[in-house]
Amino acid sequence: LCLSRLQARFADSSRVAILKGVIEESYGHLNEAQKLYEDLLTKEPSNVFLLKRRIACIKTKPEGIPRATEALAEFVDIFPTDQESWLELASLYLHQNKYSQAAFALEELLLLAPQNAFYLLKYAEVLYTMGELVKAYKLYLRILELGNGNLSPTSTRVIDRVQGPWVRALWGLKMCASKLLSSKAMTTSDDSSIKAERVEELDTLATKLLLESVYAPDAQYPTPESVRSATRSVLTPSSS
């Protein structure tokens, strides 16, 4: 009823037409919604919202992710400063296990927002998955640097010790350091930041921060005992 009144009052409004498409999507009428968007795009080919809704329709369909990936790749070629779209494109690539393409999308995203800790974290995790341990290791350090000491026991931002990108970055640093210490990556690199002594120090520091700051039993926002026990068994298996 409301839509009918809007259509009667704003007969030529693209916003009302888009609203009709969104309603069609909500009922699962994806083909109808996609056709509506494509018809509207013939009149407004550069309407960003229309283009995104069309891609969303494609993605929702069975086996639609590869087609949505192609459509979104074309979209970011036209609108290269759309951060949301680069992030979504990376997620679509990851869904298809295309890690190199996901890394490229995240690199483009970081050109737009180099200080965004969540984007850096996602990129670091993709690099770690690809086996790029040295690059991931450095990125995790950069993320923690952006945290500006939030994980310190003396930090006033207590909540950051149990949520946000900093805790995931600590785990990432710990995982990278452990793998680097047991691999040949350090011996083949001239970078002083990944020498064995330095990596071992950071590995120890990450373990200490996780146990004494993030998962401390007396923390202001304590985690369940089962989680703390599992954490101890992973970080200090000899004492479990």
pLDDT at 65 over 50: yes
Which residues lie closer than 8 Å to 63 by C-beta, 6 or more apart? none
Neighbours of 140 (CB within 10 A): 29
From residue 195, give the alpha-carbon distance in Å to each of 60, 171, 177, 205, 229.
Answer: 47, 20, 11, 16, 31
| CA–CA–CA angle 118, 124, 126 (5° rounding) | 105
The confidence score (pLDDT) of residue 91 equals 98
Residue 181, C-beta contacts closer than 8 angstroms, at least 6 positions apart? 196, 199, 200, 203
**For the ranges 80-84, 160-164, 168-172, 226-230, which has the lowest average pLDDT?**
160-164
**pLDDT tens digit string along 174-222?**
999 999 998 866 666 666 667 889 999 999 999 998 888 788 887 777 7
pLDDT over 50 at 163, yes or no: yes
pTM above 0.95, yes or no: no
pLDDT at 64: 93
pLDDT tens, position by position, 126-152: 999 999 999 999 999 999 888 765 555
